[in-house]
Amino acid sequence: MKKTVIWILAISLLFVWSGSAFAQTATTSVSAQIQALLDQIKVLQAQIDTLRAAEEQIKKAQESVQGTLKLIRGLREGMSGDDIKALQAILAVDAGIYPEALITGFYGKFTVAAVKRFQKKFGIEMLGIVGPRTLEKLNKELGRNPLSLEDEDEGEDSGRGRGKRLCAIVPPGHLIAPGWLRGHGGERPVVLVCQKLPPGIEKKLEGEDGTSQLPDKIAPVITGVTARDITSSSTLVAWATNENAGSKVWLGTSTPLSTSSAPTMSSGTLTKDHRLALTSLGANTAYYYIVGSADKAGNAAVSGQYSFTTKSGVDLNAPLISEVRATSIAVNSSHILWTTDESATSKVWYATTTPVTIENSVASVSSSALVASHDLTLTNLATSTTYYYIAVSADASGNAATSSQSFFTTLSQ
């Protein structure tokens, strides 16, 4: 009996020990699984962090496109893109660094040479590629001359849709980089001014009432001054400004022209495209003129002195004869028609022999009325006969023009 009890106790202890060992093994297995899962979570978290960093970088790049551009990658020969355009624009600010001022978006030989000059200027190793140090300096220059990308309408009929073009962020009353003007002789900028400021920039510059928070203390920039459509008594003076401003012209016949005493013509309309017509001028006279523009804040700019000479008041040009033809040809008559580029008299010399000249022509018909459309009738002509003729017109100043010879044949009865 005792042995039986001992065996029962022994078997019971064995089961207890086996259960404890099994439980311990199971616990160890679960712990290993949990640790493996934790390790996987750490890997996934690292991947998430990497994706978030990439997303942030993309977001910054997108913000740079929508607002102020910033260079965020290394650049080298053979690459292309909008950031290459931005690079070329910043290099073109200094005509000594990038005299070609070509904004192509392709990193070619000219860009390599310009980058080397830029690196030399700032004491960076002249490798011709944009590395971290060069990138830092370029972004500082972009801070001084900010750029953006804005929609560009290719035209309704082009079928090419809309694209993006590089433009300079120039707040009202501020100046575009001088190098961008020098690239085209001051006539037009290498990088056009943005038509609309990027939203982020616009908010910084405007208050709650929509007015600019920057005091405007800078005068407009005057470019493209020219005198066009010059006649003996008038001309049109035109120029452009980088902001809306008024228009004024000082005019005189002596040089140097004095803005304190010279006669003026002006317009208070604020515009970037300025045109003033100067009339009642003397014929064949040299005139000197200066243009000026003042913006809304009263900042005024004045150009250098220019000149033009009016045309002679004496008309020395003969009319231009064209479209000479014979019409309504009949048995013994015909109409001779032609046009002139100014009002003039009408005359036709005609004969049955050739060549027709004023000296040997047998007959003529004429009208002293000054007209531009001419119609003379030839009558009492012979039947079935070829006639040769020339047309002559003289303007009010007596300048005469003669057409080349033409011919027609009357009808038979």
**pLDDT above 70: residue 61:** no
Q: Parallel, antiparallel, or unpaired: how do β-strands 306-309 and 406-409 relate? A: unpaired
Considering the domain architecture, whether residues 43 and 102 belong to the same structural domain is answered as no
The boundaries of the domain holding residue 28 are 1-66
Q: Strand, coil or helix: what is 133?
A: helix
**pLDDT value of position 27:** 60
Is residue 84 domain-shared with residue 191, that is, in the same domain?
A: yes
Residue 207 falls within a domain, yes or no? Answer: yes
- Is the domain of 194 the same as that of 210? yes
Assessment of whether the complete model's pTM goes beyond 0.95: no
Which CATH number does the domain housing residue 204 bear? 1.10.101.10
Q: What is the pLDDT of residues 339-387, one digit of tens each?
A: 999 899 999 999 998 888 877 657 899 999 999 999 999 999 999 999 9
pLDDT at 298: 86
Q: Is the pLDDT of residue 203 over 80?
A: no
- Please indicate, yes or no, whether residues 74 and 193 belong to a single structural domain of this protein: yes
**Inter-CA distances, 260 with 254, 257, 263, 300, 308, Å:** 14, 9, 9, 15, 21
Note if the bond before 171 is cis, omega within 30 degrees. Answer: no
- 210 and 278 in a single domain? The answer is no
Structural domain ending residue among the three candidates 34, 66, 98: 66
- CA torsion 259-265-271-275 (nearest 10°) is -110
CATH number of residue 275's parent domain = 2.60.40.10
Q: Is residue 182 part of a domain?
A: yes
Same-domain check for residues 178 and 84: yes
Give the pLDDT of residue 392. 95
Q: What integer pLDDT is reported at residue 34 of this predicted model?
A: 79
Q: Determine the pLDDT at residue 335.
A: 96
Structure-model confidence comparison of residues 8 and 246, the more confident one = 246
**Do 104 and 17 share a structural domain?**
no
Residue 76 is encoded by which pair of tokens? 């080298």
Mean pLDDT over the full length of the chain: 81
pLDDT tier for residue 194 given thresholds of 50, 70 and 90: confident
Q: What is the mean pLDDT of residues 152-178?
A: 61
- The predicted model gives 125-130 an average pLDDT of 93
Please report how many Cα atoms fall inside a 13 Å half-sphere around the Cα of residue 231, on the Cβ side. Answer: 10
Q: Which of 93, 194, 113 is nearest to 152 (CA)?
A: 194
Domain C-terminal end among 49, 66, 83: 66
Lowest mean pLDDT among 32-36, 177-181, 248-252: 177-181
Residues 8-41 as b/e (b if ≥16 CB within 10 A, e otherwise) read eeeeeeeeeeeeeeeeeeeeeeeeeeeeeeeeee
Single out the residue in 18, 51, 66 at which a domain terminates.
66
Same domain membership, residue 29 and residue 3: yes
Rounded to an integer, the average pLDDT of 213-220 is 67
Task: Specify the pLDDT at position 201.
Answer: 56
Confidence of residue 206 (pLDDT cuts 50, 70, 90): very low
Q: Are residues 116 and 205 in the same domain?
A: yes
Q: Which of 7-21, 165-179, 252-266 has the lowest mean pLDDT?
A: 7-21
Q: What is the pLDDT of residue 25?
A: 55
Encode pLDDT of 258-279 as tens digits.
888 899 999 999 999 999 999 9
Total domains in the chain come to 4
pLDDT 10s digits, 230-240: 888 899 999 99
> For the chain, what's the residue count?
413
